[in-house]
A and B are shown apart, each in its own frame.
Chain A
Amino acid sequence: MLQSPSFRAGLRDSVLILFAVGGFGLAYGVLAVSAGFSPWLATFSSIIIVSGAAQFTMIGLLSAGTVPVLIAVTGLGLRHLPMSASLANMIGPQPLSRRLRLAWILVDETFGLTVRAVGAGVEDVVTYKSAADLMLYSGWIIGTAVGAWFGGAIDPEAIGIGVLFSLLFLGLAAPMIRTRRDWIVAAAAVIATIISILLVPAAWQITVAAVAASLVGMVMDE
């Protein structure tokens, strides 16, 4: 696997994500400890949850209680349903253990890279995604651990980590915009986001806006 061109391509393409996610993980580690988690629990949460959106939401709503956290995390998690269906289409029939592993790190960043790689004709989708997952998982855990243990000396706000993370997603979306329908879906996504921010509870904004924009694309011809 390590010698596979697809594996090397996955590693190469996800270098940027390693640093971006590492920075984001660092911010999570800092915030989790400041919210009351021990450094060990902060790191453990990144090892088993592996979801920036869910983990930041969990920390952000920690003081509000368990129920708001669970509702919000479920709302955010719904976006994984179409992602897992898309990934299932891309990888075809696979052993259960492999599907479990791929689902474990079904995150926006490496999913985006994988979609892009499939569009570019990558040879082995599973190997490509595994390499990208490895990079992301490493960055996320190391970043969290550094932030949790040494976070007092680092200010994620000062480096604008949130903006850099948003730009990463803009950069992942850009190559997907090819047809007239893609342009309309992208524009609909921006409009739906603004409306969601104004009208929808924070935990549901991303899911509602993404589904609304996708419905616009669904009713359009290519």
Chain B
Amino acid sequence: MSDPKPITCDEALRLLAEFLDGELHFDTREGLTQHLEVCRSCFSRAEFERRLKAEINRLGREEITPGFEARVRRLLGSFTTSSAGEQAGGSQT
């Protein structure tokens, strides 16, 4: 297998978001990975963006209040196998 084509800093920055999102094809990903190994400036940028993305990902968890947990427990207790989900309870639409 041939080595990936070297890429420039401009190309690296253009591809960075898709790289961190796991959307790059193998060859391009390899080229960018090699660039990040030798370019401190692009590496720093990649690390920053990666960490910010991770911080945003953490917002996907929210503390559960006792009131909401009680509501969900009541909802779960209302389900029967014959009328599954029809007592949605939670929906106010």
Please say whether chains A and B are actual partners in one complex. no
